[in-house]
Structure 1
Amino acid sequence: MADLSSLKELGTVVEASNAAPVHVKKIDAQGRSYATGKRKNAVARVWIKPGSGKITINGKAYPEYFARPVLQMILRQPIFAAARDGQFDIDATVAGGGLSGQAGAVRHGISKALTYYEPGLRPVLKKGGFLTRDSRVVERKKYGKAKARRSFQFSKR
């Protein structure tokens, strides 16, 4: 640093790096976008690619895997919010937790994969709350307690 002019140039570089993050398209060699979704103890791996709107979970069609209509609705929320119904084929593998947690994990994964494939959808999905990982998990059991917080029944005699 010979003089103060080089310091001024350094300051503009620092200011430019504090700008908002630029989200870029992330696509693999097969033209798919991959994301991991999580909820409770369930973890979902989701791949999306342009197609006819077919959704498969662990090798099964999604109405077959998630029999309850509420879980099917949860699964499709980000697709409808982004107005991309019938435009992407979704393939997901999900493990851990129960069906409700798995549906939430797949929803989270689909949302993230959509933003990786089409970064312009991020504001819509963010506003809908689909990109936020629901961090609520079951509280651990403590010693001297029947469950996490419930005490054993008190006996006077």
Structure 2
Amino acid sequence: MSEGRRGGLLRRLRRGAENALELLREGRLGAPYRAPFDVVHEDPRYTLRHYLPAEDAAGDVDGTSPVLFVPPLMVTSEVYDISPELSATAFLAAQGVDVWLCDFGAPEEISGGLDRTLDDHVLGISDAVDRVVAYTGRDVHLVGYSQGGMF
């Protein structure tokens, strides 16, 4: 192995060890973060979040169709709201987009969460769409990735 490759491998190993130590010490790699939101609806299947527009939002929420984020099966909604720098929900709200999220919670932390089926997700998303349409009076744009994008 060349000296350059060996040095690169050692740097990656050191960074990995630092991350592992931080996980052991803090329980996560970064500080917990959530963009501000209101809970509009909650039932055993899901929680419907409505993200608050930023005070200095670039657009007019009243003139846009709402966006409803749908996380993949068995993945928490944090995937769309990781940190201030990596938050799709906060970014779109700052642009004046009316942002909603269908939060199924952390399946392993919710009673019956690991017993959910695809039907439960489909019915939850359908209900969330109906509620956002009723609340806003507008059609909804669904946003998802992986299995969250197939709805």
- In our comparison, the structure showing a higher alpha carbon Rg is 1
Structure with a larger share of its residues in helix: 2
* Bin for the TM-score computed over the shorter chain: under 0.3
TM-score by length of 1: 0.26
